[in-house]
């Protein structure tokens, strides 16, 4: 039987922009843990394009897809949209890939 969630995780990682977004969010979490920042490992939608070297519109399209798939979540704070990892499996997969 095909597990749709697993397929979506691999679809997310198979596209370089989505992979870079996920990686940036996980790195933000790791820095947050190391330095005890108050941002909870979140990245603002305005920061992500600069980090990954893509346009705002391209990044927004991929953020929406990752959110639809339940891989990331968004929290609004005033006018800011703060993104973070929602799916723990994606963390584990990236951990293995980065070894």
* pLDDT tens digits, one per residue of 30-46: 887 666 555 577 999 99
4-98: which CATH topology? Answer: Arc Repressor Mutant, subunit A (1.10.10)
Q: What is the mean pLDDT of residues 18-36?
A: 85
**Of 26, 40, 33, which Cα lies nearest the Cα of 98?**
26
State phi, psi for 39 to the nearest 5 degrees.
-85, 5
Percent of the chain having pLDDT more than 90? 64
């Amino acid at each position: 039987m095909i597990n749709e969630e697993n397929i979506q995780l691999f679809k997310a990682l198979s596209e370089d922009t989505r992979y870079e977004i996920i990686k940036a969010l996980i790195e933000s979490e790791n820095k947050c843990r190391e330095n005890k920042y108050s941002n909870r490992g979140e990245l603002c939608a305005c920061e992500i394009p600069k980090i990954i070297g893509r346009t705002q519109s391209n990044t927004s399209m991929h953020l929406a897809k990752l959110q639809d798939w339940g891989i990331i979540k968004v929290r609004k704070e005033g006018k800011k949209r703060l993104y973070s990892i929602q799916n723990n499996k994606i963390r584990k997969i990236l951990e293995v890939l980065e070894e």
